[in-house]
Structure 1
Amino acid sequence: MSKTTYWADNYVQKLTSAEKALRHIQPGQRVFIGSSCGEPQHLVKELADASVRFTDLEIVRLLCIESGPLTLVANRSHSQQFNIRSFYLGSASPSKIHRNKRFNTPINLSQIPYLFKSRMMPINAALIQASPPDDFGWMSLGVSVDITLAACESADIVICQINPNMPRVLGRSFIHVNDVDYIVEHEEDLLTIQPLPELETANTIAKHLSRLIDDGSTLQTSLGVTSEALMLCLSEKNDLGIHSQYLSDGLMRLFSMGVITNKKKEFNDGKLVAGSAVGSNLLYEFIDDNPSIEFHPSDYINNPSIIARHNAMVSLNTAMAIDLTGQVAADALPYNNYTGINGLLDFTRGAAMSKGGKSILMMTSTSDHGRKSRIIPNLSDIAVVVPRGDVQFVATEYGVVNLFGKTLQERAMGLISIAHPDFRDELFSKAKEFNLIDINRKIKQAIKGVYPLKYEETITINGIAIMFRPAKPIDERGVQEHYYTMNRGDIVSRFFHEKKSFVHDQIDTTFEIDYINDLTIVATIGELGFEKIIAVGEYFRNSIINMAEIAFSVSREYQSMGIAQILQRKLTRAAIDNDIKGLVAYTSPENTGMIKLFQKLPYAITSEKDNDMIILNCLFSKPKEDKEKQ
């Protein structure tokens, strides 16, 4: 019968120096290195210093630190000492990644633990970092569990750097002293990332997206400037939950504000669940022994079936480029010290399967200081990470579109509308060339209009949440359906004659607008991308007299709810913002509703007859007299 050894005795027996522990690694072996901010820097430095005795050592890691010693050794010209295998489901475009592109291993993050445990990719040694053991001999992997736990469980030998600065994080983050082979005690600061710079484009994207995230949603966020900006825009939300690859400083702030409670996740309720933390020392203090936080390995965090169990799961990730059909390229994020990680597809599909879930891709409209568009005609020479069939919401600083269930023409028009205005002409031309858009459709100056987010507003009327917003090019079908469902009398009131068709050429001025000289505000119900348009308010600027002609239509079942008055108020505000002198309306004497509506404006109203029409006018410079208002 073998004698059981007390773990503390084992600890003492396994204690050694980094130099001695690394002697057990032989040339030609495969070595895993702990991920991201959990990287055992002391062990890595010693391994780099000993590089002269190695040939063909394969380094396996999840996130690469570009300035790290092993990366520098591997990047030496004709180096035969190290190859760095990075798990990367991305497009490998930036030069630092592209240099070692041949060693990238495309794989979904959820599948990497199986790759290790099945021994399809045997790990000879794992270099990890952990917290000091507790009274029972358990050590926490701290800020980086992800694929590190699987590497520990399947490696031939495990060399563990014990660092008292490593937080003790709860969940499936623990390894036991008895399950490691060599222990190296070395205290050092954990890796951190600097606060990300504030970008106005990121802030604008965040404002667009904040209205897509409902109270009680469960979020996954990627690292990067846009995600951090989004955190600032969620400060008014309630009872958000977190199930994410990464925990960041932005999420910590939302938690401290009471925005994140994890009470309505409907799975792992009350727990903030993640796989790693990447951020500041304050973040690492926050997660230390925090009973509301659990870290789990990536085959759990990134498992689409686990992700789908959460209530209203929303995935928020950054893309590098998207083509006009919706195919997405993705890579390492800007302003991030790490490269070579992407669990994008896992969360995209998991969120799509969640009840009330949404998958959102964020990108600035341009790259290379505005010289290149991120929305491009096709991804012919760039690897596709997210197939077009998996893409839902796409956001740039120029707006948000929902591509789910949309035709190729609807996708192309929607993406062109949120591209940078400088590139829309070219994209429109290419879309016609590729037969994505009707060859007879003509481009108008309006396609360069910048969507005015400030006019968006959700108002609840009679218990119905109604979104009032500027119209978009992708609203063509919705506007047509609105007009086709109107009754004869309302059509005559709106168009001054009977109409039985509302083809593109007859109504294109409603949705192909520049938001300044031509503006349409629509009232919608339902989810973005599948809204039902229940009312339309429009103005057309007469540049000769600098007056805006307004017109309205409201679906029969939504009339007498004050919707037209809200539309008129918003059009008035926009006209004033755009230096228009006043409003004019042409209507028939029988259209008492329009006459009363116009008279509710807070300006002096004049009217005149013109054959069978009444022309109503008001100037913004002439408010009603106080007595008249009363």
Structure 2
Amino acid sequence: MPGFSILDHVRPGDHVTVGEAAAEPRELVAHLFAAAGELEPMTVLCGYSLNDAWRTVHPGRPAVKSYAAHGSLRKLAAAGALEILPCHISSLVRYIRDGTVPVDVVLVQLPPADEDGFHSLGPSIGYLGDAMDRARVILAEINPNVPKTASSRRIHRSRITAAIHSATPLPTSPSRPAGPAEKAIGATVAALVPDGASLQLGIGAVPGEIAGALRDRSGLRVRSALIGDWLLELVDSGALDVSVPGACATGIALGSRRLYDFIDHNPGVEFVAPGELLSPAALASCDPLVVVNSALQVDLYGQVNAEALGGRYLGAVGGQVDLFRAAHLAKSGLAVVALPATDPSGARSSIVPRLDGPTTSLQSDIDVVATEHGLADLRATTAAERARRLIAIAAPEHRDSLRA
């Protein structure tokens, strides 16, 4: 490794936190894994990753923890080599800040510093700023491909213990063409969004279809923990004007190179920590706030499982509950679960009598559930009414068994 060795800075027993998404330094992570045998025991915390290097980790070498089994970490979870922290993202940030989750070393990818010596944190804030505040050592991979984003969170080069330079392309969000189910869900959910609404959509095929169905809206705002290329769709159609102060706030961007170019030096897209994204002052300006999240299952009470199926951890608690509850704290808000009526094979219903995994969101946190078969409005409903409405939007071939 040019300049320094991981072994010069990381000690056996250290807790290492790795930047997620575009903040993950792939070269540094590769060197960390190569040195893992000399650093045992060592624990590594990582969030969303699209780095295939994680799939090569042997159980316990190092011990790997995450709040999610997304991207490349899903195969690690399937192999039993990933320990899940099933906590809200707001709690994870708090645990890092107060030392409940230890941070000795941070590995991070950053854009080059400005003329005053400050590095932007790029398109990934999340837990990163608080982790760097706690770290003994910060090892950085400086990459000119990382966009410089608008944020109050940044780091001076004097805080960086050691750095390398790379020109690794940024990870882009995997995408697949939307099918009929995603298109139908997108149109159904978009009908709930009025002019002037604030949106949380996440990434994936359904958010893209929702954004595409909002072309005729005006004055939309974005307050989303994660943004993808759907942001460009809203801007291109004129539904979102990022020249308006406060029009777009997010914590992580994960999409195409075009998205990264759009947010580079763009003051209209502000990157904030989770606490700022959902602060009472921020939520007061959201009227309404429409929060859309995905799920693996919804039961007939309206409870949501976004985490595990068949004993396998596939998702996350993440920000789902934080965001749904934020919708209820806003001046007016709507908490929407959007999911296909069946799994990809069509054999298993996503509307179920009882959840197969953890209850991620409570029935009291959910307002509306949408599938390709329609919308179940669960507001002010009894248990029996909820069940009837949810069965009505299940796949037709599964409705009789649900009624039984």
TM-score by length of 1: 0.60
- Matches of 1:121 and 1:322 in 2, distance apart? 31
Structure 2: gaps spanning 5 or more residues: 309-313
Alignment of 1:147-166 (within 5 A): 147-166=127-146
1:384 aligned residue? 359
**Residue 85 in structure 1 maps to residue 65 in structure 2:** yes
- Matches of 2:157 and 2:224 in 1, distance apart? 28
- Matches of 2:382 and 2:317 in 1, distance apart? 31
1:426 aligned residue? 401
Answer 1 or 2: higher relative contact order, Cα 8 Å, separation at least 6: 2
Offset, 1:331: 3.5
- Matches of 2:192 and 2:114 in 1, distance apart? 43
2:205 aligned residue? 225
Alignment of 1:410-421 (within 5 A): 410-421=385-396
The correspondence for 1:403, drawn from 370, 374, 378, is: 378
- Matches of 2:75 and 2:372 in 1, distance apart? 26
- Matches of 2:280 and 2:126 in 1, distance apart? 15
The C-alpha deviation readout for 1:88-109, integer Å capped at 9, x for no partner, is 499xxx7753544871001111
**Residue 52 in structure 1 maps to residue 20 in structure 2:** no
Offset, 1:120: 1.6
1:475 aligned residue? none
1:28 aligned residue? 13
- Matches of 2:243 and 2:192 in 1, distance apart? 20
Offset, 1:387: 0.6
The 1:356–1:298 alpha-carbon spacing in structure 2 relative to 1, beyond 3 Å, is closer
**Residue 62 in structure 1 maps to residue 41 in structure 2:** no
Q: How large is the RMSD of aligned CA atoms in angstroms?
A: 2.3
| Secondary structure, aligned partner of 1:383 | coil
The 1:210–1:70 alpha-carbon spacing in structure 2 relative to 1, beyond 3 Å, is closer
2:301 aligned residue? 325
2:274 aligned residue? 298
**Residue 348 in structure 1 maps to residue 332 in structure 2:** no
**Residue 168 in structure 1 maps to residue 148 in structure 2:** yes
Q: Answer yes or no: is the 8 Å Cα contact 1:146–1:297 preserved in 2.
A: yes
- Matches of 1:179 and 1:193 in 2, distance apart? 30
The 1:184–1:361 alpha-carbon spacing in structure 2 relative to 1, beyond 3 Å, is same
Q: Answer yes or no: is the 8 Å Cα contact 1:126–1:152 preserved in 2.
A: yes
The correspondence for 1:136, drawn from 116, 122, 128, is: 116
The 1:30–1:116 alpha-carbon spacing in structure 2 relative to 1, beyond 3 Å, is same
- Matches of 1:270 and 1:302 in 2, distance apart? 13
Q: Answer yes or no: is the 8 Å Cα contact 1:129–1:161 preserved in 2.
A: yes
The C-alpha deviation readout for 1:102-155, integer Å capped at 9, x for no partner, is 710011112222211211222010001111111111101111111111111111
**Residue 241 in structure 1 maps to residue 225 in structure 2:** no
- Matches of 1:307 and 1:343 in 2, distance apart? 15
Matched residue count: 397
Q: Answer yes or no: is the 8 Å Cα contact 2:306–2:315 preserved in 1.
A: no
The C-alpha deviation readout for 1:60-80, integer Å capped at 9, x for no partner, is 112143x5213421xx3xx33
1:40 aligned residue? 25
The C-alpha deviation readout for 1:361-397, integer Å capped at 9, x for no partner, is 1010001410000000012x41000011111110000
Amino acid at match of 2:247: K
The C-alpha deviation readout for 1:311-343, integer Å capped at 9, x for no partner, is 2111011111011111110149xxxxx965620
Offset, 1:19: 4.7
- Matches of 2:81 and 2:27 in 1, distance apart? 27
Amino acid at match of 2:136: D
| Secondary structure, aligned partner of 1:103 | strand
- Matches of 2:75 and 2:54 in 1, distance apart? 18
Q: Answer yes or no: is the 8 Å Cα contact 1:71–1:84 preserved in 2.
A: no
1:182 aligned residue? 162
| Secondary structure, aligned partner of 1:205 | helix
2:311 aligned residue? none
Offset, 1:173: 3.5
Q: Answer yes or no: is the 8 Å Cα contact 2:17–2:131 preserved in 1.
A: yes
The correspondence for 2:339, drawn from 363, 384, 387, is: 363
1:582 aligned residue? none
- Matches of 1:402 and 1:305 in 2, distance apart? 28
1:255 aligned residue? 235
- Matches of 1:274 and 1:203 in 2, distance apart? 25
Alignment of 1:197-216 (within 5 A): 197-216=177-196
- Matches of 2:218 and 2:195 in 1, distance apart? 5
Structure 1: gaps spanning 5 or more residues: 1-15, 333-337, 430-630
Offset, 1:164: 1.0
The C-alpha deviation readout for 1:146-172, integer Å capped at 9, x for no partner, is 111111111111111111111110112
- Matches of 1:100 and 1:306 in 2, distance apart? 40
Percent of aligned positions with the same letter in both sequences? 28
Q: Answer yes or no: is the 8 Å Cα contact 2:306–2:316 preserved in 1.
A: no
Q: Answer yes or no: is the 8 Å Cα contact 1:31–1:123 preserved in 2.
A: yes
Q: Answer yes or no: is the 8 Å Cα contact 1:38–1:191 preserved in 2.
A: no
1:119 aligned residue? 99
- Matches of 1:169 and 1:184 in 2, distance apart? 21
- Matches of 1:368 and 1:189 in 2, distance apart? 31
- Matches of 1:382 and 1:25 in 2, distance apart? 37
TM-score by length of 2: 0.92
Amino acid at match of 1:183: A
The 1:22–1:130 alpha-carbon spacing in structure 2 relative to 1, beyond 3 Å, is farther
The 1:159–1:17 alpha-carbon spacing in structure 2 relative to 1, beyond 3 Å, is same
The 1:308–1:98 alpha-carbon spacing in structure 2 relative to 1, beyond 3 Å, is farther
Q: Answer yes or no: is the 8 Å Cα contact 1:302–1:343 preserved in 2.
A: no
> Which is higher, the Rg of structure 1 or of structure 2?
1
